[in-house]
Structure 1
Amino acid sequence: MPSSKRQKTNKENGTVSTEKSSKKRAGRLSVLPSLPLDILFEIFGHLLPGDLIQLTRTNKSFRSVLLSRQSISVWRQVLQYTVEDGHPPCPEGMSEPAWAALVWGGPWCSHCGARSAAKILWHIRRRLCKKCCDQHLVPLWNHTFEGRPWSEILPCDIARTKRSLNGDQLHAWEADETELNLELEIQLKENASKPIRTVIHLILDDRKSNTADRLEHAVKCRDFETLRKRDRRDEIHEQKSARSDLIKARLLEAGHDARDVNHHLICNHKDVYVAKPLSDRVWKNLAPILTELVESVRDRRLAYEKRERLLRRIQVVEDCMPEIFPLVAPSSISFLPSGLNIMQVHGLAELLSEDEEPSDELRKSILDRLPTVLPEFQLWISTRAQDISECLDVSWPTASFDSSLEPKAVSDDRLNCTSTTAALDLAVYVFKCSKSSEDRLIGLWLFGMDALAHAPCWACKVEPDLTPDPKGHAIVLKILEFHHLEPSRTRPVDLEILAGRYTCDGCPTVKRGAHVLYNWRTAVWSHHDNQHCDASRLRLLTTFEDRFIDAYSSRRSWRYAGSELGKSLAWGCNYCYLPWTSLSDVQEHLLNVHNVESAAEDRDYIFNRKITRSMDDLPIPELPKFVAGNTTLDVVEAEATSLSAPVS
């Protein structure tokens, strides 16, 4: 069994030795303090101010030498070199070591010594940490005192402190302010016989003459600091750019594409855009990482370019689709597949599968193929309609249209999906689609067979991005109650024809003196997820309110956004194929071609349901209190006229 360790004892008396056995080895520079002063000063004269400050912090020997009166020539010599390089000179009233410590001494607080004072307050001539700023800087809320700027009275700088509520504010050193107050108090007592303002201005004149040079020096220091920061920023940028350019050049030499090498993921990589030299050792470790990143960028670029070529080929199909529209019932054109959904039609997917740019040959092949894929279009529409029927909530009503509500029959040789879609086209069938779109309203709430026409819902082949929306369903039911309409018989187009106008007494705008005008679609959109609107207070406009709004809008050239919808190229004829055009053009076509004078929507003309029918929420003026009373309509119109009259 090994013996236990024993403490070392003194051989003479047997006591335990408490002294350390090893002595600290003297360094090579330990002889410097013992050198003659003239040699030391000659050595120190070749250092920078920051180096001298570091030496004073090394040990007491260096500190006593460098802070003695004999070393003043060294400090002046070193600081003179900095002045020749463009640095501001040491100001009067401040010792050279103190100035060197302020400018080159590092982020040490001038008051408490904390290492968190990066900013120099040039006029106050201190570096201060956050704690000392909060405790010893006094905010000067008024930028002047007795009509004079504070910079002529006290040393002051812009800073952020708790006293200034962390806002940029002019501050003075607390001791300087106390000294000023004490001086004012003493002078006012000694010159009590003189006017107070005269005494104050004499003191301020004296301070102005004493602080003018200090202020001028502080301005020079601020300008130099700004210039130095800009030069340093430019220098760092040049170093980063040089490293980045060298790395890009090596990646290009390795055979990578310039489009991938110049990608922002490469340019902004943490190991690329840095101000460090690129050695062979660093590149050896960095090359595999950047190579993998460049290859991933290349793969994404190629995938994006491939998708863009596919979209251009699909666009050719969409450009050719109007050629077969005469073979489709007008009411079914809105439900034909579009965009990426075209790739779900097998007959067209074969033509578009080859990764190539669109060509005249491809266009000719598409024109030849389109008439033959009409049965596939029919199947695609039927399948999607079946998907919608499976999404319906079991508690929702089932359609029960009579013969008067059946859409107009068309000839048998056209593609007609009426039998498939009619039973699903109810206004109370409200769906939500989360797919994004350019329009803020598209892709949110869809009504009836709008869901089938909304292409983003069917971009996924597995299942539609479509969910029934009970909240929207409840709001539509409330709207139908206003008009005493049956949920199982009312289609979205019926509510469009009805053109009901609604407002809400629970909206925040009512408290500000204005209601908001809704149509039935915007009533759902605005009250669905709005916590500030109470859907239970949604109501129809009264007869007086309707008349008031009509009179007000007609005299102020104020129109509903629905009138702008009539100008969009989204209207077609229900008797024959007519390229989508404006509502006025369709009505003119019906009059000239089909001899229909009083054309009506759904019976004579249709709307392209791929486009969302929306109307912006319109603020309406505060309704006079008498409108709700027993007032004649003439009085209502007169009041609206007075409100809408231009202000002189």
Structure 2
Amino acid sequence: MIAANLLSSSFTRMRRNPKRSITSGPQTLAGTSIVPSADSKDVDLDEEHMSDSESGSEYGSRQTTSDKPPAKRAKTTSITAGILLDDHGQTNKATSKRKANLSLLPTMPLDVLFEIFSNLSPWDIIALARTTKVFRETLISKNAATVWKAARANAGTPEGPPWLLEPSWAALLYGNVCQCCGAKNIQKLDFMILGRACTNCRKKHLVVKKKFESLFPELDRGILDLVPYTNVGGWAHGHASNSEFYWDTDVTKMDRSLNTLNHNIHRRVHGAKGALDAFRVEQLDKRNYLLENCRAWARWLSEVQFARAEERSAKQNIRMEQIKERLKGMGYLEQDLRFLYMDENAKGKAVVTDKVWSRLIIIFEPKATQARDDRLEYAMKNARRKRCAVIQTRYTVYKRTTHPFQWKHLPPLALVTLLDGFADLIGADDSVMFTTNAVEGLFEVFDTTLIQRSEELRQRLILAMQSASSSNNVGGMVSQAVPDTLQGGGSPASLVLDLATAVFRCGATTSASSSTHFGYLFGQDEVASHHCGRESLDDLWFFANFSCTGKSGARQQILSRPHVERPSRAVRAVEKILRLVALNPASATVADLDKKVGSFDVANSLRFGCVGCAMFKESGQFYRYGYNWRALVAHIDSCGSHNADINLFVLDSNQANEIKAFDIRDAQAEWTSKIWACSHCSEHADNLQTRDTVKVHLIHHHAVSDPRQDLDYVLLRGYTPYQKHKAKFRVLGPSQAASSKKNILTTMPGHAAVNSHSQAIPPAQFRFSSSSNNNKPNMYCLKCSQSSSRKFILQGVISHLRDKHQVQSPQFAIDYKPIN
């Protein structure tokens, strides 16, 4: 029993490394000399190198030999044999170390070892046989047959084919490698051919019966009657069929066996004919035996595999519960430990001892901590969601107390939740009681909070104008556009922010271009109603990776919006437009400019063109781009190829109508957006509607038969768009312009008419403003080298092009251009 206990404790190490030698001593069993019998040399228990004979693929009779087995000798070796003592009768250190490593196991008597091995399972014996060569030779010998039979009986393993050795039958049942290529973890075993093969090998070696003649044209079809077959092909994925599949090497081996027997007959060997008949009968019996027992064997194997899976699952569950109990003892909850079911380190079968736990806690504790933090954060997200809902309801009540024209100046709900007091209330932990009285207290001083934010914004705008003024030359165009009130005079500074030259660009939006319309703001009213940023309540409060509580940098950055600057190029563009329409840049407001150019009067509104923009051709028609005054400012400031002092011109009525058609289309596109509200009531305080819906509301609820914008209903866009799409107008092409001869007048008063013999002189759509007379050189030749600084008058540059460059019909903006 002592030896049995020592042996059982070694099986765990054997299974972890079955090829490792368990002894460092001599490779023979003490007191005995075992020579493997002839039957044993066909048995190979090496898991990665199983021969065909071990799987029974040859289906031949067991080999016999005429050699006599060695004479048996008495086993006189005791369990204490081989222990070395020193001169004083004490065990030396080397022997103690060998004893601790179970090196005395090979020195035990065979009858004792066999008695111990008989209590093991077949898989344990296979693992033991793979440890050392001496154990292998001993366990595959005839003397060990009783050990294998006893182990098979202990495990309830069915009896194998009579022609197959016990070790081979055990290796076939309990192995998991492909017997052809050595691929591991092959669970399917085909009892009809007594083989375990991977899918690739089955596809390669299995031959369907109907293709036998094409693959083996030299063989007789009758040979298949002697070869076992299976009904599961290589491409069937384990599904049976009515076809017969033969292993190709079984067919060739059977052919060799028959050829040998037939050759003996041809040589007239005595009894050769009877040997052939006996061989055929034997092979037929083997095949029938396999067909009769394969179903029972497969059913047993399926039950065993299911039992193994159940046992493995039970051990894994025990290990999982042990890990959970240890983590729960550290303060974690069951919902914090769900990650264990996806962690491979928790799916083992070993018992979680203190030593094992010292390794696992390093892996599991950070994950459990993260799961607990996520759980607490999720609970806080739900709490913050409910608190935001209460604030949203109260904010709607507050909006109903204000006029709809003021709603565009009110901050969005997401921004309100970040204000002082609101952010602390929403982000407080569970220990802080959240009450509606606290919310009411914040809204009692909400007017004061908004006034304070408005004053802070006004100061930032004034500072931006001062910074822009100081960055330019004193007395220059921008400096002149800033009135004395801002430069130290005594007029109210708030009037300065209403000037048309009070143009700002929001740094939180994309730089404006002719197709982008959110970047530029004109006057403090547009700035106050501009709420940049697209953060929602989910972005601010419900995402675990982002928190705006406290004084975080992200929260302060959002609260400090809009981040405006005053671009000098845009200011200079506004000044040019004001002078072009005869308004004073130092005193004209945004409302004055809108009224002058008629931005909201489609019949009389003005549109503008830019000299720097060349014509282009689409579908056989030539076009140029046109702008309303806001779009023109954005175009000049954002177009890097244009000089800030580039000349502008006013379009004629026909060209302006083409541009206004684009503006009208942009305006109509907003009619279907829910950004409209009734100005007679607070019905749409929390539910903005489309323009038509609001007009229907006015007719039915307020008896307004002809609702008018900005009187009966209001657009709560928050800003005035300057152009959403690139607007274009038609112009004459080069050939058409060359055939028309007109007198061209500049747009500025005091300019004389310039006679032209062709379209070489700029047409009306290319007029530009200038403060000089016609005798001053103000033209460049575009055909000359870029380094040339020669200047011309209009008639001079035309003559120059004809004489110097042989351009008979010079084109404006193509062959020559004005000095910017």
Q: Which has more radius of gyration?
A: 2
Question: TM (normalized to structure 2)?
Answer: 0.41
Question: TM (normalized to structure 1)?
Answer: 0.50
**Structure with the largest fraction of helix:** 1
